[in-house]
Every structure is written in structure tokens, then in C-alpha cells.
């Protein structure tokens, strides 16, 4: 009975609810919403100090916090081509390198002690600094910020650390297809050498010195090129006094930084392809140059863009994704900047097998935007996409004050955002058609496609002449010229023969077919040193397997001839071609193979001359493949002829660089001498060390260790 009663109550409740719901039912388009509250600009006080520093102050006593953001007029656009990355390095090491009073680590410690933060960065057009600290420590925060701006120490160890970080970023820049697509598209629109499109290379980072950072700072980080906004829990007059105390006597520099460079652009079509065979999803960008915020057409362009590709229910979304099912993601944007033109682009992620069809569909939608007027629903949606998010422009005081600084710097009216809203509300269907016909150029689209061309539904050539783009990352290697005279070659072969004899003799090396080693690997990381256990198996000449035990589990890499893979449990992941190439170079440097084939060499030996290695006299010889594509230097102890180091240009976790393997602790194993300790350095910095605990010559190693489980 109890259960029947409760179910009966439930039916009564649902019936009553349904009746009420039916009575209250109202069509959505009949619901009347009140107008949004009018957004007003908070009162921001502006003061220009005698040295040219512009200060903006906004009292906000909601929280006991002081926030500051500084706009630095300096940007990467001021940097010469051969030193791209200098601006970013300068900003980063201004923060991490400390001041004339505190080291960078001490600055970190002080800020952590009071729950504060200071960060700096620099982009192509300008730099930014941010500070956040409790209001009780406002003097501390401002004094630290002033010290970083005015008296950066540029500690060499922090410069080296930041260079390593940037080199690591370069090494990963081709990992993601869309990153490649965006980068190459910008180069096509702005020009490959434009400050708005260029990027760092290993060589440009290597070219930057501490003196360059000091000179860049002294020339461009000056008070007349800094705008400082502070908002939070303070009294306006007291805060201005503090700013004058810490920044007021900062000497003025040589003047305002140069204007941003102009952009020239020719509307013309182009099809550009980047081959990336390790993906099954094509990434593409289609478009041309964009516009300026000051364009009279800007407001209609915003609405037009939202209708075409800028919103969830756009024409591109509805047709290319929903109706045709061609895209995982599709959209577009007509971007506009203040000081230089933005970019108009449409993007799409599609299966390799629908690549060309997706391109054609996007181009067709662009063309129809010029001929098919927006429906009343589309016009409303196009406006609402902007207007419904307008309120979020005022959600954060920092966004408001940062936007005001940007407008102020370029001479824009502070109320531009309000006028933008008003003008977008006025846009008509006729305005949208007019701007589409004027600003869209479907006959002159630049198309960038990144993917596996062999799987495309059609050749890209049906779209036009194809430009295949090479995105190979230049290594920055500076090849040393070694004079290969007959005398130098004869002396080199003689020294290598002495090394073979010192390590056990040619006959003993000829007998070696397999090697296994166990040991401890100590890797240097930014967080400190990490010790790992490792086991290596080699079947000469070209099969190897390395098993490393890490805190996260075992990592196994295998190479067999031209193939290499990583094992994760039962999964096999093929290694990129670059890593396979590096494995082949490592094999070429294997002294076991080198000594084993001494009487029938497939390499060329040249004597370089005497030298010193860690205060030891050595003889340097160069070993090169017959085609000259692979080289390394071998340092032989002048007294014993034992190899003390291999030196070469190679890859590390932080990118390519000058590598050295320092060899020591030789022990006799199976008739030959083996170095039981190896220290690996990159550009003079320790990367890792390897201590052997066991080395076996000619052990029985099963072939199964070198078979890919997922062929």
C-alpha cells in the first residue's frame, strides 16, 4: 500500500506540473527580454610623468589587491632578421635574471612569500608586463617592478636557460598540423621576412648575446615607451606618489620607438601544400589580407563574418559541417587590427579523403556570400553573435584598462567600443551584401593545405598551380672546413689504427657481433637530475633496442634497419623520420663498428691537429662518410691513443647543437677496452651521464626483441 500511495502522489504531481506547463507555454520568439544595462567606462585617471611614463589609475576597493599591467612599446619588429627572438629573450630574462639588488631566484622567493606575481612577455608588435600583489605589499611590488624595468641584471645562466627553452619550442613547432598551417599562411599574407610572420630559428637564437639584450633594453625599454596601468585597492593620490617614487627619476631615453612597418599586399590566388604523412586529417586555411579597425566598413564586416563563418550557426558550419559532413571543425574570421591589417581566413579540419571537396565547398560559400543576401534570421544572428557577448568586454577591470591603453597609444577614441556596438546595431542586409562584394575576393584566395597528399580525393592541382612548401627546421649547423690533404688523411688513418690497437686490436673487434649493456642513466632536467635504469641490446650492424625504466613506467625504443618504433605496452608507435635519421648517425659514430671495419672502411679519416681536452693533450681526427653527409671528430689521448671524446653536431631534447660524449673509466671486456662512464654535453652544458654496471660481448640476443609487434 505504501508504494502505491507514493506512486499515486507522483502521478498527481506530474499531472499538475504538466497542466501548469501547458498553461504557461509561450513561443520563444514572443518572450520579451528587458534591454541590457548600459555599460559605462569606469573613471580612469591618466597622468604623464615628466620622463614620459604614462600612468593610468583606477580605484577598485572590492578586493585587497593591487593589479598592474604595463604596455611596452618595444616588440620583435625592432629586431634584425639574424637575431629574431631577441625581444622575447630580453623580456623573459628581464624577469628571470634578477636586478642590481636581487637575483632572479630571490625575486621569485620574495614574490612567493607574499603571494604575488610579476610576468613579462614580448610579441611582434609590443611587450607586456603584469603584476598582482596584495595591497599591503604595494610598495614591495612596485619596487620590484621598477627594478626589473630599470636595472635588469641579465644573468648569463638565465639567458642560457631561456635559450634552451626557445630552442626546445623550435624543435616542436612542426608537431601540430594546424600550427604549421597558421604559420605558413601568415608568411604568405605578410611575406616570409615580415616582422608579422617571421619566427625564431636555432641560428637566430644562437646569434643573440648578453650584450644584445643589454643594448635592446637600454634603447627601447625607456619611460617614454612604457604605459603603466594600476587598478585595485588604493588611494589615487597615494598610489601616484608611490609610482613617482619608484619610476619618477627613471631617465628618459632616446625617444619613442619607430612606427610599426607597413604592409603591402597583392590580391592573387595561390595553392600551397605542406606534406605531413603522419596524420589522417587535413588542416587548411583559405583567405587573404584582412582590414583595419578604422575601416568605415569594419562594422558591416563583423556582421558579414559572423554570418559566413564566425558563429556556431554560420553558413560554413551549416553547409560544410552539418549538411555535407565534410568537417570536424570549420569556421572563419575577418580580423582587423589597429596599426596593420589583419587576416581574412577560413579554416577547416577534414578527412584526407575529402580535402579538395572541402576546399571547393568553402570557396563556394564565399562566392555565395556575395550573391545571396542574408535572411532576416541570419542578420539577427550575425548581430547577436557580437551584441550578446558585448557585456563581457567590461567583466574585468584589467581588460578595460588594457584596451584603453591600446586605443590611447594609437590615437583611437576611448569610447570606440561603444561606437562599435552602436554601429553594428545599425548594419543592414544591404550593408552586408555591399561589404561582401567589396571586401571578399574569391578569385584571389590563398589556400594552405597541410596533410597526407597521397590520400587526397583529388590532386590539389585542380585548384591551381601547387607550391609545395618546405617546413624543415634548419639545424643551424656551421660545418667546419677540414683540409683533406694526402698527408692529413695518412696521419688520420695512422692515428685511428693506433686507437684500434689501444682498445684491443682489429681481430678482436672483427669477432664482435652483439653487445648488451646495463647501467644507470642520469638526465639533467630544469627540475634537477633524474636517475634511470637502462638496458641496451645491439645486433651489429643496424639493430638496437633500449629499455629505460622511468617513474612513469618502462620506455622501449627499437631500431631495425630503416625502421624505428617506440613500444608502449602492446602498442607500437613509429618514430618520425628525423629520429630514424639521428639513429643512423649515432650508428655511424659507434666506435665498435668503426674499429671492426678499419681494414675495409666506408668512411674517410682526416687528421685535424693536436688539441687539449680537459687539460689533457689529444690528437683530433675527423671521421666522415664517403658522401660527406655524416661527420664527427674523435679526440684520442696523445699518450695512450684511447678515445676520450666524440664531438659532433646532433639533436638533444632542446634541439640541435654541438654535442660531445666524454669517455672515461676504460675496462677490459671480452678482449676489448670499453668506457664504463660517458658524459654527454650540448653546447658545453651537461645533458646526461651513463654509468655501466655490466657489459657483455657477443651475448645471445633473440631476434624477437627487434620485431615490431604491429607490422
Give the CA angle between residues 541, 546, 548 to the nearest 5°: 165
The rounded distance, in Å, linking the Cα atoms of 628 and 618 is 24
How far, in Å, CA of 109 to CA of 140, rounded? 13
User: What pLDDT shows up at residue 201?
Assistant: 95
Per-residue pLDDT at 32: 57
Tallying the residues shown for the chain, one arrives at 711
Encode pLDDT of 254-292 as tens digits: 999 999 999 999 999 999 999 999 899 999 999 999 999
Confidence at residue 23, expressed as pLDDT on a 0 to 100 scale:
43
Q: Which residues contact 209 (CB under 8 A, 6 or more apart)?
A: none
- Identify any residues that bridge with 329 across adjacent strands, giving them in sequence order: 349
- The long-range contacts involving 701-709, CB below 8 angstroms and separated by at least 24 positions, are 701/514, 701/516, 701/537, 701/538, 701/539, 703/539, 705/537, 705/545, 705/558, 706/539, 706/543, 706/545, 706/558, 706/560, 707/560, 708/558, 708/560, 708/563, 708/565, 708/572, 709/567, 709/570, 709/572
Give per-residue pLDDT as tens, 409-456.
999 888 888 788 899 999 999 999 999 999 999 999 999 999 999 999
Q: Which helix (H) or strand (E) holds 109?
A: helix 104-114
Nearest to 67 by CA among 56, 78, 51, 81: 56
Q: What is the pLDDT of residue 416?
A: 85
pLDDT given at position 40? 65
pLDDT score at 566: 92
For each of the domains in the chain, give its residue range(s) and CATH number, in order of start: 45-176+192-247 (3.30.830.10), 270-376+412-468 (3.30.830.10), 486-706 (2.50.20.10)
Q: What is the pLDDT of residue 591?
A: 94
- The residue written with cell numbers 498553461 in the block is 23
Bond from prior residue into 541 cis (ω within 30 degrees of 0): yes
pLDDT for 40-66, tens place per residue? 667 899 999 999 999 999 999 999 999
Read off φ and ψ for residue 693, nearest 5 degrees: -110, -15
pLDDT tens for residues 210-269? 999 999 999 999 999 999 999 999 999 999 999 999 999 999 999 999 999 999 999 999
Residues in the chain with pLDDT values less than 70: 1-41, 393-394, 711
Q: What is the pLDDT of residue 234?
A: 97
Q: If you search the block for the grid coordinates 668506457, which residue do you land on?
A: 675
Rounded to 5 degrees, φ, ψ at 54 are: -95, 130
Contact of 159 with 211, CB cutoff 8 Å: no
Amino acid at each position: 500500500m505504501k508504494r502505491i500511495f507514493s506512486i499515486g502522489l507522483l502521478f498527481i504531481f506530474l499531472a499538475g506540473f504538466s497542466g501548469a506547463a501547458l498553461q504557461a507555454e509561450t513561443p520563444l520568439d514572443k518572450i520579451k527580454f528587458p534591454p541590457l544595462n548600459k555599460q559605462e567606462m569606469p573613471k580612469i585617471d591618466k597622468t604623464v610623468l615628466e620622463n614620459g611614463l604614462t600612468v593610468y589609475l583606477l580605484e577598485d576597493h572590492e578586493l585587497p589587491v593591487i593589479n598592474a599591467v604595463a604596455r611596452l612599446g618595444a616588440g620583435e619588429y625592432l629586431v634584425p632578421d639574424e637575431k629574431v627572438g631577441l625581444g622575447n629573450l630580453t623580456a623573459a630574462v628581464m624577469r628571470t635574471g634578477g636586478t642590481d639588488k636581487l637575483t632572479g631566484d630571490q625575486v621569485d622567493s620574495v614574490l612567493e612569500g607574499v603571494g604575488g606575481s610579476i610576468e613579462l612577455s614580448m610579441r611582434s608588435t609590443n611587450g607586456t608586463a603584469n603584476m598582482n600583489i596584495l595591497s599591503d605589499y604595494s610598495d614591495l611590488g612596485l619596487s620590484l617592478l621598477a627594478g626589473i624595468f630599470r636595472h635588469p641584471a641579465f644573468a648569463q645562466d638565465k639567458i642560457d636557460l631561456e635559450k634552451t627553452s626557445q630552442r626546445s619550442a623550435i624543435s616542436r613547432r612542426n608537431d601540430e598540423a594546424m600550427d604549421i598551417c597558421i604559420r605558413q599562411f601568415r608568411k604568405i599574407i605578410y611575406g616570409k621576412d615580415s616582422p608579422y610572420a617571421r619566427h625564431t630559428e636555432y641560428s637566430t637564437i644562437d646569434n643573440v648575446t648578453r650584450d644584445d639584450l643589454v643594448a635592446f633594453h637600454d634603447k627601447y625599454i625607456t619611460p617614454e615607451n612604457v604605459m603603466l596601468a594600476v587598478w585595485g585597492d588604493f588611494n589615487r593620490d597615494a598610489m601616484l606618489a608611490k609610482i613617482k617614487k619608484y619610476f619618477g627619476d627613471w631617465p628618459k631615453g632616446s625617444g619613442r620607438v619607430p612606427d610599426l612597418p607597413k604592409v603591402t599586399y597583392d590580391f592573387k590566388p595561390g595553392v600551397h601544400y605542406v606534406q605531413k604523412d603522419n596524420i589522417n586529417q587535413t588542416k587548411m586555411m583559405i583567405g587573404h589580407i584582412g582590414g583595419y579597425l578604422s575601416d568605415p566598413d569594419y562594422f558591416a564586416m563583423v556582421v558579414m563574418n559572423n554570418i559566413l563563418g564566425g558563429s556556431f550557426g554560420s553558413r560554413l558550419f551549416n553547409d560544410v559541417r552539418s549538411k555535407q559532413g565534410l568537417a570536424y571543425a570549420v569556421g572563419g574570421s575577418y580580423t582587423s587590427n589597429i596599426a596593420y591589417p589583419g587576416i581574412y581566413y577560413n579554416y577547416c579540419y577534414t578527412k584526407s579523403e575529402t580535402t579538395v571537396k572541402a576546399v571547393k565547398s568553402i570557396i563556394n560559400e564565399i562566392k555565395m556570400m556575395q550573391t545571396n543576401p542574408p535572411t532576416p534570421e541570419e542578420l539577427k544572428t550575425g548581430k547577436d553573435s557580437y551584441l550578446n557577448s558585448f557585456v563581457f568586454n567590461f567583466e574585468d577591470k584589467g581588460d578595460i584598462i588594457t584596451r584603453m591603453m591600446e586605443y590611447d597609444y594609437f590615437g583611437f577614441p576611448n569610447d570606440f567600443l561603444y561606437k562599435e556596438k552602436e554601429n553594428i546595431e545599425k548594419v543592414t542586409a544591404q550593408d552586408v551584401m555591399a561589404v561582401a562584394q567589396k571586401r571578399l575576393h574569391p578569385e584571389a584566395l590563398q589556400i594552405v593545405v597541410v596533410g597526407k597528399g597521397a590520400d587526397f580525393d583529388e590532386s590539389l592541382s585542380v585548384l591551381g598551380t601547387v607550391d609545395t612548401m618546405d617546413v624543415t627546421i634548419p639545424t643551424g649547423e656551421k660545418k667546419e672546413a677540414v683540409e683533406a690533404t694526402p698527408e692529413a688523411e695518412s696521419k688520420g688513418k695512422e692515428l685511428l689504427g693506433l686507437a684500434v690497437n689501444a682498445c684491443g686490436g682489429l681481430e678482436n673487434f672483427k669477432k664482435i657481433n652483439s653487445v648488451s649493456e646495463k647501467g644507470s642513466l642520469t638526465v639533467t632536467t630544469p627540475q634537477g637530475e633524474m636517475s634511470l635504469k637502462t638496458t641496451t641490446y645491439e645486433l651489429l650492424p643496424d639493430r638496437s633496442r633500449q629499455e629505460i625504466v622511468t617513474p612513469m613506467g618502462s620506455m622501449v625504443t627499437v631500431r631495425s634497419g630503416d625502421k624505428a618504433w617506440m613500444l608502449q605496452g602492446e602498442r607500437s608507435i613509429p618514430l618520425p623520420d628525423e629520429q630514424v635519421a639521428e639513429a643512423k648517425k649515432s650508428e655511424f659514430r659507434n666506435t665498435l663498428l668503426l674499429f671492426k671495419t678499419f681494414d675495409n672502411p666506408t668512411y674517410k679519416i682526416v687528421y685535424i691537429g693536436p688539441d687539449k681536452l680537459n687539460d689533457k693533450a689529444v690528437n683530433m681526427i675527423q671521421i666522415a662518410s664517403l658522401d660527406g653527409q655524416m661527420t664527427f671528430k674523435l679526440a684520442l689521448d696523445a699518450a695512450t691513443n684511447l678515445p676520450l671524446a666524440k664531438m659532433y653536431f646532433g639533436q638533444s631534447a632542446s634541439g640541435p647543437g654541438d654535442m660531445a660524449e666524454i669517455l672515461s673509466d676504460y675496462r677490459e671486456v671480452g678482449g676489448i677496452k670499453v668506457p664504463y662512464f660517458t658524459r654527454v654535453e650540448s653546447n658545453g652544458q651537461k645533458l646526461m651521464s651513463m654509468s655501466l654496471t655490466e657489459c657483455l660481448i657477443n651475448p645471445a640476443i633473440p631476434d624477437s626483441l627487434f620485431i615490431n609487434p604491429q607490422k
